[in-house]
Amino acid sequence: MIFLKKMHLLEYVKSFYSSISLSNVLLIGCQHILETTHTMFQSLYDFGLKPKNIFLIGKCYSSNLSVWQEMYLEGIQVSLLSFSFESHLTFDDQFSDILIQFLKNILSRIDLSAFNTIIVIDDGGQLLTLSMKFFKNYKNIIGIEQTTSGYEKIKFTPLSFPIINVARSEAKLVYESPMIADIIIEKILKRMVILRSFRMILIMGGGAIGSSIYMTLKNDYEVYVYDKKKEANLKNHLQVADIIIGCTGERSISFSKYKYLKEGCVLISGSSSDREFDAVHIRRRCKKNIVSCHDDIKGGNLTLLNCGFPINFDGNRNSVAPEKIQLTRALLLAAILQAYEMPKDSLEIFPLDMDMQREIINKYLTMQKLNNMEEIV
């Protein structure tokens, strides 16, 4: 477990749940196949969770092959479909079919009724939505959603099992968003050395991530945040923007609006999937063979970075440094342990335990303060 020494927050969370046994638990997850994700699941082995009882599916743009191999060799049931990418299809359409295959495979191999508890942990809401259909006859299931876009997808969906909402937890909204904004800016600067020659940056979406990116860039660039809930005149902003960063979690610029984009405009996604800019239309018009979901694409009068997928994922073993992203991993770990203890008969969306959130936040801030002091010394 390479990164445990850099993710002490996981050990801290575990200390609150020492009496739990996960020996008869099945964990089904849609997660980024990254090193810190692997470390989080490894931390559950101390509670008796067996690697063979972990079924994982990743997303092509956030899956690292060497981490996948390490998980597989350890006995985790991690799907090779995690790397599936068809450039001429939208990711959401493609991934829905992939998840159906993933769930059918589980049902063909596993007797779900043999487990005391089944925990479905999701990133994006699609796995939970499909699980409610596939597993509707089982009463031993509880779900976890970690993203705002996933929460928006399921909050009005008739539930077949209870769900813990990590996405809207204070710890994630207040402390994770600036962290993700920083890594997005870092990846942009690394990908585009010529960024400083651009004048006008348009940020689509004034939510937690968009606002954090704005605060980071506003002193060095001319930056404008567009929020469709507050104004309707998008056309004028598109015509002057040199760089557009999409942070809405949904389609912010449709194919029909490409004609308004400034010559040479660069499109950068800061949210899940490839939906921010209708990216599939740009990929379909690309004359070169698109080999990787991390390719930069030139189409007509614009450039699409990272194939339209979130710029903070570039195929590396980690997207964010372990000592920082341990906050998110600790929240998910706490949600998994909370899920085991919760009753499964209330078909509601529950918050992540507030007391545990405070414990995690306080410990994280203390650790960050100590790290900063060590750097100064």
User: What CATH code is carried by the domain that includes residue 268?
Assistant: 3.40.50.720
Q: Which domain holds residue 344?
A: 4-172+317-376
Mean pLDDT across 267-296:
91
Give the per-residue pLDDT at 375: 55
Work out the mean pLDDT of the chain and round it to a whole number.
Answer: 92
In this predicted model, which residue has the larger pLDDT, 59 or 376?
59
Q: Are residues 159 and 207 in the same domain?
A: no
- Is-contact 38 71, C-beta < 8 A? yes
Angle at 265 between CA 262 and CA 267, to 5 degrees: 130
Phi and psi at 95, nearest 5°, equal: -70, -30
Mean pLDDT across 145-152:
92
- For the chain, percent of residues with pLDDT exceeding 70: 95
Helical ranges in the chain per DSSP H: 8-14, 35-42, 65-74, 91-109, 126-134, 148-154, 170-171, 177-191, 208-217, 235-238, 279-285, 322-341, 354-376
Per-residue pLDDT tens over the stretch 157-177:
999 999 999 999 988 888 988
| Amino acid found at 266 | V
Q: Rounded to whole angstroms, what are the CA distances from 329 to 17, 71, 177, 211, 360?
A: 16, 17, 14, 23, 11
Mean pLDDT across 166-190:
88
Q: HSE-up of 106 (CA within 13 Å, CB side)?
A: 28
Banded model confidence at residue 309, pLDDT cuts 50, 70, 90:
very high
Mean pLDDT across 293-303:
89
Question: Rounded to two decimals, what is the model's pTM?
Answer: 0.92
Q: Are residues 366 and 296 in the same domain?
A: no
Q: Are residues 149 and 259 in the same domain?
A: no
The tally of domains found in the chain comes to 2
Q: Are residues 79 and 157 in the same domain?
A: yes
Given 287, 308, 329, the domain boundary residue is 308
Given 266, 291, 308, the domain boundary residue is 308
Given 259, 288, 308, the domain boundary residue is 308
- Is-contact 77 54, C-beta < 8 A? yes
The domain that holds 30 is classified in CATH as 3.40.50.1480
List all residues 6 or more positions away from 333 whose beta carbon is below 8 Å from its beta carbon: 10, 13, 14, 40, 43, 44
Q: Are residues 215 and 350 in the same domain?
A: no
- On the question of pLDDT at 192 being above 80, the answer is no
Q: How far apart are CA 268 and CA 291, in angstroms?
A: 19
In this predicted model, which residue has the larger pLDDT, 77 or 149?
77
Give the per-residue pLDDT at 18: 86
- Is-contact 308 266, C-beta < 8 A? no
- On the question of pLDDT at 96 being above 70, the answer is yes
Q: How far apart are CA 50 and CA 144, in angstroms?
A: 19
Q: Are residues 161 and 19 in the same domain?
A: yes
- Is-contact 286 299, C-beta < 8 A? yes
SS3 at position 78? strand
Supply the DSSP symbol for 308.
Answer: G
Q: Are residues 22 and 145 in the same domain?
A: yes
Angle at 61 between CA 59 and CA 67, to 5 degrees: 75
Q: Are residues 60 and 143 in the same domain?
A: yes
Cα dihedral value 281, 285, 291, 292, nearest 10 = -30
- Neighbouring-strand partners of residue 33: 63
Strand-pair category, 117-122 with 77-78:
unpaired
Q: Which two tokens stand for residue 142?
A: 């509880």
Q: Choose among 341, 357, 213, 191: nearest CA to 271.
A: 213
Per-residue pLDDT tens over the stretch 61-71:
999 999 999 99
- Is-contact 119 340, C-beta < 8 A? yes
Mean pLDDT across 122-147:
95
Q: Are residues 262 and 329 in the same domain?
A: no
Residue identified by tokens 């999701």 is 122
Give the per-residue pLDDT at 197: 67
Q: Choose among 330, 308, 313, 369: nearest CA to 172.
A: 330
| CB atoms closer than 10 angstroms to residue 32 | 21
Q: Are residues 225 and 92 in the same domain?
A: no
Mean pLDDT across 218-227:
92
Give the per-residue pLDDT at 216: 87
Q: Are residues 266 and 336 in the same domain?
A: no
Banded model confidence at residue 191, pLDDT cuts 50, 70, 90:
confident
Supply the DSSP symbol for 248.
Answer: S
Give the per-residue pLDDT at 1: 46
Q: Are residues 219 and 342 in the same domain?
A: no
Banded model confidence at residue 196, pLDDT cuts 50, 70, 90:
low
Residue identified by tokens 């004028």 is 236
